[in-house]
Amino acid sequence: MEPSKGLTLFSFYRRRQFDGPLLGMLITMLGVATVPSHSMDFSARELDQGNALEREINAQRVRVGMPVLQPLNQNLQKRQLTYSDGVLDELLESANCDHDYSAFQNLQNLISKLPANNGTAIPESEVIGCPSQARNWSPRSMVERWEQSPHHYQILFERPNRSNIGCSVKFRGGLVASLCTLWAPNN
């Protein structure tokens, strides 16, 4: 599947509330609320894999006795996708896992300045799935790799004050990279 040239409002609604193809076709055909392609570029498959990664993390959290992380609201999800698009593009272009933490700090600063009704949660930590062969990747295999790392395990499964999660996945040139940001309530 070719990557989309923009992410429509339907993509956000499909992710969280609706799954109706007719509604999606209508919104897409009308071009309602499209987000410019320079801000983020995810295919439907990539968005679905991000959702599957969130579900896999939550399933493991339940197995270890931690609460389920909630999906981000639409406003925060848009910012999460924009942020992760740039990080994942950079990782896939370099084919290594050198992460620029200033980008994460910029996301934290942006969210902290939102009005209270938009910024119900703030990004606190993240885990990155370094570029790997796409043919060997699945949400479960990624979670299994994170479980083997004490630091990643602690971030995903031992921090009780996390409330929300946003995961993104990108495929390019036979490689895949992923990123999950964990959020805490913005009190």
**Tens-place pLDDT, residues 59-74:** 999 999 999 999 999 9
Q: Find, among 147, 138, 182, 155, the residue nearest to 48 by Cα.
A: 138
Mean of pLDDT over the chain: 79
CA distances from 104 to 101, 133, 154 (A): 5, 25, 19
In a 3-state reduction of DSSP, which class is residue 179? strand
Question: What was the pLDDT predicted at 147?
Answer: 96
Residue 132, pLDDT score? 93
At 85, list the tokens. 């698009």
Q: pLDDT digits over 17-68, tens only?
A: 333 333 333 223 333 333 333 357 899 999 999 999 999 999 999 999 999 9
Under CATH, which architecture does the 44-185 domain have? 3-Layer(aba) Sandwich (3.40)
